[in-house]
Structure 1
Amino acid sequence: MNKAIKNYKIKTINNISAKGLALIPDNFTFGPDIDEEDAILVRSADMHHYNFSKNIRYIGRAGAGVNNIPVERCSELGIVVAKAPGANANAVKELVASALLMSSRDIIGGIEWAKTLKDDSDAEKEVEAYKKNFAGPEIYGKNLGVIGLGATGKLVASMGLAMGMKVYGVDPFISIQNALTLDSKVKYLEDPKELFKICDYISIHIPLSDATRGYVSAELLENAKKGLRLINIARGGLVDIEALKKALDTGLVSKYVVDFPNAETLKLKNTINIPHLGASTPESEENSAKMIVNQMVDYMNNGNIKNSVNFPDCDMGVCSSVHRITVNHRNIPNMIGQITAVLANRNINIANLLNRHRDKWAYTMIDIDSEVDEALRDQLWNIEGVVRVRLIK
C-alpha cells in the first residue's frame, strides 16, 4: 500500500472552517455525509452516543476541550482523540478582558437602563442623576488570580499585568514548559486557598474532567476575599453551583461571569451569562481548524500523534524505510517484547522504534526494512492489550 495514494475518508461534524479544510490533501475525501469514515473532525457536537465504525482511527476536536467526546471508549477502540490547544487562546483572553470590566462596572445594567430613556425628553438629566447606580471599581492595582497556566491562562496573566493588575497563578497540572515560559511577574502559588484569600478577581482556565469537576468548591469559596468577582470562560462544571449560590447570596462573591449558561446559572443572582462566545471569532475557528487538520493528516499519513488526550504524543517524521507499523496498546509489561518477538519470528529487521506511554495507554511506532502483509497485522492485533494496528506504508 502506497501512503501517497491512500484515499482516506474524513467525516466533518459541525461547521469546520473552510480555510482549515482547504489544507486536506486532494487524495482525501471529506464532508458531512461521509460513511465508513477513517477519521472525524468535530467542534462541539455531542459524540457520547456516536456509533464508531471499525474504520475510525482518529477524532480531531477543533477546539481546546474534549468533554463532548467519549475519550475512554475511543481509547478502548484504538481511536486517537486530539485537540487544538491554544488555537482559541487569544479569543478567550479577549472575552476575559470584557468579563473583568463587566463584572466590575455595571455596564450591561447601565446600557439596558439607558434604553428606557429613548422617549424621555429629560434623558440627559436622568442620565446624570442615575449614573451613580451603575458605578463600580477600576481593575487597575487589583489582584487577579488565574487558575490554569496553559496557553490561555498565560495570555490572561500577561494581559492582567499589562492592565496594571497584580497577578497570581495556580495550576494543578502545570507542565515544565509552561512553568519555564510563565511571566516572571506572575506570582505562582501552590495552594489555591491562598489565591482565593487574596484575589479580587479570579479567572478559571483548566480543562473539565472527573478530576476537576467542581474544582471551585465550597471550601475554596469559603476562603474567598469578600466581594470576589469570579470569571469562568473554561467549562461550566468546574464550579460547584450550590456553593456558588450561597457565596453570591451572602455577597462573598459579588459577581459571577460564565460562558456556559444553563438552567441553574440563569437563575443565579449577580451573574452574567454569556452564550458560549469564548471561541466564537473567525480567527479562532480558523486557527483551530488549521491545527487539527494538519495533525489529522500527519497521523493518517505518517502515524505521528500530536496534542492527543488519550494516547501519548509521538513523532518519527516521514517514514524513509520500506514500511511503518504503528500499534496502539495498553501500557502493560512486556508489550514491546511481544511486538518485537512477532517481527523477529518473521525475520523482519527494525530500522527505528519509538515507544511512549500516557497513563494506562501506550503507542509504538516501528520502521522496518521489509515488505509485510495483512497477516502481520493480524498477529500483532492478537497480542493481548493491543487495540489498533496500522500498516502505513
Structure 2
Amino acid sequence: MASGPVFGVLVLNQISKAGLERLPAARYRTGKDIAQPDAILVRSADLHGMDIPASVQAVARAGAGTNNIPVAALGARGIPVFNAPGGNANAVKELVLAGMLMAARNLGAALRFVDGVDLQAPDLERRIEDGKKAFAGFELAHHTLGVIGLGKVGSLVADAAIKLGMDVMGFDPEITVEAAWSLPSQVRRAASVDDVLRNAQLVSLHVPLVKATRHLVHAGNLAAMRSDAVLLNFSREGVVDDAAVAAALDAGRLGCYVCDFPNERTARHPRAIALPHLGASTREAEDNCAVMVAEQLRDFLEHGNVRNAVNFPDTSMGRGTAWRVAIANANVPNMLGQISTAMAHAGLNIHNMVNKSRGDMAYTLVDVDSPVGAPVLEAIRVIEGVLAVRYLPDAGPLRA
C-alpha cells in the first residue's frame, strides 16, 4: 500500500490502458464517476461548458492540441494544462505522406472510378484501360514540398520527404532551438508563408490554431499558388479558409486539397480528399500520448514538477527534503520575497527553491527542512497574485 494521499483522476474519454497503468491503483483512483477529482484526463471531450470542480489541480490531454480545454480560465485558477507534444507525431507524419501520395497519383478519383465500374461487364478490361488515362499523376521525387510549421511533425515530414527524393523548403518564424537542431540540413529556409505558397508544388501545414494562424491560408495567398499545387492540412481546420479553398478548386486555381477535417465546403469536391480526423488514430500514438500525459500528471500531483504544460513554465526540481510547497502565481515583482518572508516568519528554513516564469504565469517549488503547517500555507495563499498553493510532503515509494 502507499503511505501518501490517494488521488482521484476523472477520465472523460477512452484512454489507452498503457497510460492508465502508469497511475498505480495503490495511489490513484481513475474512472468516469470521480466526484471530487484531483485531476481530469481527457482526449476529445469539450471542457469549455463543463463546471470544473474546485478540487481539480491539473488537466491533462492525451494528445497535442488543447482547443477543447479552457486553458486561459484554468491558468487563472493556477491549474496547469498538460499535453503530449510529439506523442502522435509519427502517426501524423505517416498520414501526411499517405495524403501526398493520394494526391500525386489521383488515388481518390481513381477509387471512385473503380467503385462506379460494372465489374461483371464483358469489356471490363477495356473500360479500365480507357478510364485510367484520366488519373495519370506525378512522382514525388524532384518536386518541391513546402512545410509551414517546423515543430516535431513538420520536421518529421520534411525528413521523410527528403528521403523520398523531394526538395523541401520550410517556414516557421517561432521555431525553437530544439526543433532547429532536429531539422534536416537540406531544408531550405523560406522567407514567409507566401514564399512557400508561391514556390512549392505541395504545401503541408503544421501549425497550432491560434489567433495569428486562423485563416493563415486565405483567398489572397491562395492566388499565388500554382494551379496544379497540392495543399495539405493535417494541423487544424481553422488554419485554412475553406470557402476560399473551395472557390480556388472550382476555378481551377488549386490542383488538390487534402485535409483531415471534413466539412460541407470541401469534403465531396472532386479535387479534394477529406479524411475523418485520422491523424492520431493509431494504437501506437494513443499509447504514446496516454503514457506521456499520465507520467506528467503523476509527477505534478506527487512532486509538483511541471513538464509540457501549455500554460505553465517547465519547472522541475529533485527532492531535497520530504517537505515541499508548490506555488502558482502571477508573474509580478516581489513574489519570491513575500513567499520567503512568510516561510521565515513561520520558522521554516528553505533548503532549495526553483522559480520559473512564462508570460504572465510564474511557478515556484520550495523544499524546506521541516513540516509545513496550515497557517503558513494560508499566509502564502492570501498574498495578492498567488493563484494556487499545494503542500506536497513526500509519501515515499509505493510499497507492495
Q: What is the alpha-carbon distance in structure 1 between the residues aligned to residue 218 and residue 382 of structure 2?
A: 46
CA contact (8 A) 2:108 2:273 kept: no
Give 1:268 deviation, angstroms. 4.8
Matched with 2:74 is: 74
- Give the AA of the match of 1:345: H
Matched with 1:44 is: 44
SS of the residue corresponding to residue 265 of structure 1 reads coil
In structure 1, stretches of 5+ residues that fail to align are none
Query: More displaced, 117-126 or 138-147?
Result: 117-126
Matched with 1:244 is: 245
Q: What is the alpha-carbon distance in structure 2 between the residues aligned to residue 310 and residue 178 of structure 1?
A: 20
Q: What is the alpha-carbon distance in structure 2 between the residues aligned to residue 344 and residue 217 of structure 1?
A: 58
Number of positions where the alignment pairs a residue of Structure 1 with one of Structure 2? 391
- Give the AA of the match of 2:40: I
CA contact (8 A) 2:257 2:273 kept: yes
- State the TM-score, normalized to the length of structure 1: 0.96
Give 1:269 deviation, angstroms. 5.3
- For the pair 1:128 / 2:129, whether they are aligned, the reply is yes
CA contact (8 A) 2:146 2:196 kept: yes
Query: More displaced, 189-198 or 359-368?
Result: 189-198
Q: What is the alpha-carbon distance in structure 1 between the residues aligned to residue 383 and residue 266 of structure 2?
A: 49
Q: What is the alpha-carbon distance in structure 1 between the residues aligned to residue 309 and residue 123 of structure 2?
A: 60
Q: What is the alpha-carbon distance in structure 1 between the residues aligned to residue 243 and residue 126 of structure 2?
A: 42
SS of the residue corresponding to residue 304 of structure 1 reads coil
Matched with 1:333 is: 333
Matched with 2:396 is: none
Q: What is the alpha-carbon distance in structure 2 between the residues aligned to residue 213 and residue 11 of structure 1?
A: 32
**CA-to-partner distance for each residue in 1:264-301, whole Å, 9 max, x for gaps?**
33365522110000111111101110111011100111
Q: 1:4–1:295: structure 2 CA closer, same or farther, 3 Å change rule?
A: farther
SS of the residue corresponding to residue 352 of structure 1 reads strand
Q: What is the alpha-carbon distance in structure 1 between the residues aligned to residue 268 and residue 284 of structure 2?
A: 32
Give 1:99 deviation, angstroms. 0.4
Matched with 2:305 is: 304
Matched with 1:227 is: 228
- For the pair 1:92 / 2:101, whether they are aligned, the reply is no
- For the pair 1:14 / 2:19, whether they are aligned, the reply is no
Q: What is the alpha-carbon distance in structure 2 between the residues aligned to residue 275 and residue 40 of structure 1?
A: 26
SS of the residue corresponding to residue 213 of structure 1 reads coil
Query: More displaced, 19-28 or 285-294?
Result: 19-28
Give 1:225 deviation, angstroms. 2.8
Alignment of 1:147-186 (within 5 A): 147-186=148-187
Q: What is the alpha-carbon distance in structure 2 between the residues aligned to residue 66 and residue 341 of structure 1?
A: 37
Give 1:120 deviation, angstroms. 1.3
CA contact (8 A) 1:249 1:269 kept: no
- Give the AA of the match of 1:210: K
Q: What is the alpha-carbon distance in structure 2 between the residues aligned to residue 236 and residue 42 of structure 1?
A: 20
Give 1:261 deviation, angstroms. 1.4
Give 1:241 deviation, angstroms. 2.1
Query: More displaced, 266-275 or 349-358?
Result: 266-275
Q: What is the alpha-carbon distance in structure 1 between the residues aligned to residue 268 and residue 258 of structure 2?
A: 13
- Give the AA of the match of 2:19: G
Alignment of 1:23-38 (within 5 A): 23-25=22-24, 26-38=26-38
**CA-to-partner distance for each residue in 1:182-201, whole Å, 9 max, x for gaps?**
11011122312111111000
Q: 1:218–1:278: structure 2 CA closer, same or farther, 3 Å change rule?
A: same
Give 1:108 deviation, angstroms. 2.0
Q: 1:85–1:4: structure 2 CA closer, same or farther, 3 Å change rule?
A: farther
Give 1:90 deviation, angstroms. 0.7
Give 1:262 deviation, angstroms. 2.4
- Give the AA of the match of 1:48: H
Q: What is the alpha-carbon distance in structure 1 between the residues aligned to residue 57 and residue 269 of structure 2?
A: 43
Give 1:86 deviation, angstroms. 0.7
Matched with 1:352 is: 352
In structure 2, stretches of 5+ residues that fail to align are 394-400
- For the pair 1:278 / 2:279, whether they are aligned, the reply is yes
Q: What is the alpha-carbon distance in structure 2 between the residues aligned to residue 224 and residue 364 of structure 1?
A: 49
Q: What is the alpha-carbon distance in structure 1 between the residues aligned to residue 384 and residue 265 of structure 2?
A: 46
Q: What is the alpha-carbon distance in structure 2 between the residues aligned to residue 353 and residue 320 of structure 1?
A: 10
Q: 1:263–1:387: structure 2 CA closer, same or farther, 3 Å change rule?
A: farther
Query: More displaced, 203-212 or 62-71?
Result: 203-212
Give 1:117 deviation, angstroms. 2.4
Matched with 2:398 is: none
Q: What is the alpha-carbon distance in structure 1 between the residues aligned to residue 265 and residue 379 of structure 2?
A: 53
- Give the AA of the match of 1:81: V
Give 1:342 deviation, angstroms. 1.1
Matched with 1:261 is: 262
Q: 1:265–1:387: structure 2 CA closer, same or farther, 3 Å change rule?
A: farther
- For the pair 1:137 / 2:141, whether they are aligned, the reply is no
Matched with 2:213 is: 212
